[in-house]
Amino acid sequence: MSPRLKLTATVLFSSVSAVIACSPAMAADAASANAAYAAAYEPHEPIIVTGRNEDYVTVESTSGTKTNTPLVDVPQSISVVSREQLDDQVLRDIGDVLRYTPGASIGQGEGHRDQFTIRGQNTTADFYIDGLRDDVQYFRPLYNLERIEILKGSNALIFGRGGGGGVINRVTKAPSSEATFGSAEVGIDTFGSYSLTGDVNLAIGDAAGFRLNGFYEDISNHRDFFGGERFAVNPSVAANLGESTRVQLSYEYVDDDRVVDRGVPANGGVPLTGARDTFFGAPGTNVTTLQAHILRGKFEHDFSDNLSFNSTVQYADYDKLYQNIYPAGFDASANTVKLDGYRDTTQRENFVMQGNLIWDAATGPLTHKLLLGYEYGQQDSANARRDVFFTDSQDDQITIGFTDPLNIPEFGFPAITRDRASDVEFLSFYLQDQVDIGDHFKIVGGVRYDRFEIDVVDAKAISDGKEGNFSRTDSKWSPRIGLIYKPQDNVSLYASYSQSFLPRSGDQFLSLSPSSVALAPEKFENYEVGAKWDIRPDLAFTAAIFQLDRDSDVVVDPSNPEDSIIIGTRTKGFEAQLAGTLLPNWHVSAGYSYLDANQRGNFDNAGQPDNARLSQVPEHMFSLWNRYDVTERLGLGLGVTHQSSQFASLSNNVKLPSYTRVDVAAYFDVSENLQLQVNVENLLDESYFPAAHNDNNISTGEPINARFTVRAKF
């Protein structure tokens, strides 16, 4: 760890300890909060209910350890966005959520998928739903969620391969046997986009519940020719089979059909201005479709008060298509734009089975929460790509005069450039122990063994007379260790180390080739020290400094996009967040992060270090969202997000300018069961560029927009 990080760690630990130990008033308040905190964690009998969170804070989760653990006892930085905050801000997509998440930034995702960067690590696959993989490329809806958890730092012990910078886990709403209730929501914005959402729960006797969530959205924004629609439905049922056994079954269908928009090109090292609404694609051609079927079953059984087992099985089938024409360059002096394009299809079937045995035990003065688990999965994928062919240029690229809208000559997608099928099988075993040493010290440690096998058939290579059958098997051990000091029950100071890995087949199993098949998996190492303080059960503060190293990262060569280069990366940084209820009527979610993310081991032709800054990693990110209830019926919201400048790609040739966006909201309760809400996004009409895919695919931020929402409960 660098001297700067060591110094920051010392200051962080010393400052928190001093505040707790030296301030009599604070100590008295903390003692009172500690008593309330302890009361909040009195054991309860398990029930099949997940209630609505009335605050912006979550104090307990299974995501960081696979056991029900207070977040203050998890030696890892975790941001949680509750259902209440999702509704208050009318957040519709993962990208909306990440704008208010310290240390995480959004990627454009080529206009057809969720993509994010955490701690300098960009990914299209590190998504989970209720702790299980959901790694196909699509836009994930948020209609059926209880909360979203963003876990930062490598941690293969909990999630297996990937997740080098962190993962995003969506926690779905669960059926309740306690009551019958429902809600409905209608929303429309000034771009013409509208949505309908419903949530109905039926109590079946005293021991079972059925829940149905669904939504429909007509999609529109400020961009010319952009539009689409999507809908989803998610029925689920849960039951207590006696006092010790619980089961839950869930099915979700998602259908998404929208325009693919890859933004604007660059001009002179910055995004092209004056073309905020201009569509650099082909209307009718730039489309993406998705149909997803996700089935999941969960079984839980308590053998005794201190021994339990849970098992989850998930089968998911995804059918994905996207095709697009996109900008590949812009020449201002000639007033021309270069275009490229392709058509891509993916079919994937995921089967994942996971089981966990949890034992609360004691050995002398030590108490343990021992986790012994396994995970098995199969993932079968087929991916094909057809390159565009322009009749006028007789090539897959063409340069045309820039007009608005573009006048694109005749083209088609005749040439198959990729036709691959992969069969992945993985098996994992893991062991973790959460050890209490007296009243003030804890250790969270464990190790995971992963065996990852992949077989790839490259039909295009075989038809060209080249080698087209590739196989690779990797076996990896991934450790994790966290040391926690708790001066009080509601305060923790921690230091942790964890690892993860990524096979050479990459996020989407498309990277295995004759040149990469012999390479060992990439390795991630996360060093972190931090502090967590549950000021009250409804208000939490966390802070952490970290260093994340990635070895042997394969990236696109900025000087030759047809080739790849192998580099290492290092991200050092600091983040802090405060979430919860400051005053009885004042809810807040605030965060700040500083990230220093660069290549390691790259040299120029003269042999001198030539380490570029990692792309899509703002050095400074700040976010603040407030909701203040002026009266019992009237509430007001105010949000601010700021990102410093960031590079569009590893070339460091194009920079996205810094920006600050202001959002406001107003809420009015007509009655106990009817609420009116208006959210105004980008109140000051800031012109900004929030994300990119490369130097010439840069998203433009939405201008001022108002969204009107009506919610009813019954």
**Structure tokens that stand for 305 in this block:** 């008060």
The answer to whether the peptide bond before residue 537 is cis (omega within 30 degrees of 0) is no
In 41-126, which ranges are continuous DSSP H helix?
Answer: 83-89, 94-98
Residue 200 belongs to what H/E stretch? strand 194-204
pTM of the model: 0.90
Cα–chain center distance at 307: 32
pLDDT digits 0-9 by tens, 454-490? 999 999 999 999 999 999 999 999 999 999 999 999 9
Q: Are 234 and 214 in contact (CB under 8 A)?
A: yes
Neighbours of 194 (CB within 10 A): 16
Classify 225 as helix, strand or coil.
coil
Which residues have a Cβ under 8 Å from the Cβ of 1 and sit 6 or more positions away?
9, 527, 547
186-to-195, 242, 637, 676, 712 alpha-carbon distances in Å: 6, 39, 19, 10, 9
Q: What are phi and psi of 16, to 5 degrees?
A: -65, -45
Strand duo 104-106 + 166-172: pairing: unpaired
The domains of the chain are located at 3-713
Nearest to 69 by CA among 492, 478, 364: 492
Q: Which amino acid is at 390?
A: F
Q: Measure the CA dihedral 390/394/397/398, to 10°.
A: -80
Second-level CATH architecture of 3-713: Beta Barrel (2.40)
CA separation for the pair 665, 678 (Å, rounded):
6
DSSP state of 631: S
Measured distance CA(308)–CA(258) in Å, rounded: 45
Q: How far is CA 633 from the centre of its chain?
A: 34
What span, in angstroms and rounded, lies between the C-alpha atoms of 11 and 186? 49
Q: How far apart are CA 354 and CA 158, in angstroms?
A: 11
pLDDT of residue 566: 64
Q: Token pair 């996360």 is at which residue?
A: 526
Separation CA 219–CA 216 (nearest Å): 10
Q: Which of 163, 175, 158 is nearest to 69 (CA)?
A: 158
Give ∠ CA 142-147-153 in degrees, rounded to 5: 105
Q: What's the pLDDT score for residue 20?
A: 35
**Beta strand 127-129 pairing with 166-172:** parallel
Question: Which amino acid appears at position 668 of this protein?
Answer: F
**Three-state SS sequence of 453-484:** EEEEEEHHHHHCCCCCEEEEEEEEEEEEEEEE
Return the DSSP state at 702.
Answer: P
Q: Cα-atom radius of gyration of the chain, to the nearest Å?
A: 25
- Tokens representing 623 are 């976010």
Who's near 348: CB < 8 A, 6+ residues apart?
136, 316, 317, 318, 320, 379, 380, 381, 382
What pLDDT is recorded for position 78?
A: 96
Q: Could you give the percent of the chain with pLDDT greater than 90?
A: 84
Q: Mind listing the pLDDT tens digit for each residue in 334-350?
A: 999 999 999 999 999 99
Spatial distance between the Cα atoms of 388 and 412, rounded to a whole number of angstroms: 6
Regions of the chain with pLDDT less than 70: 1-54, 553-566, 607
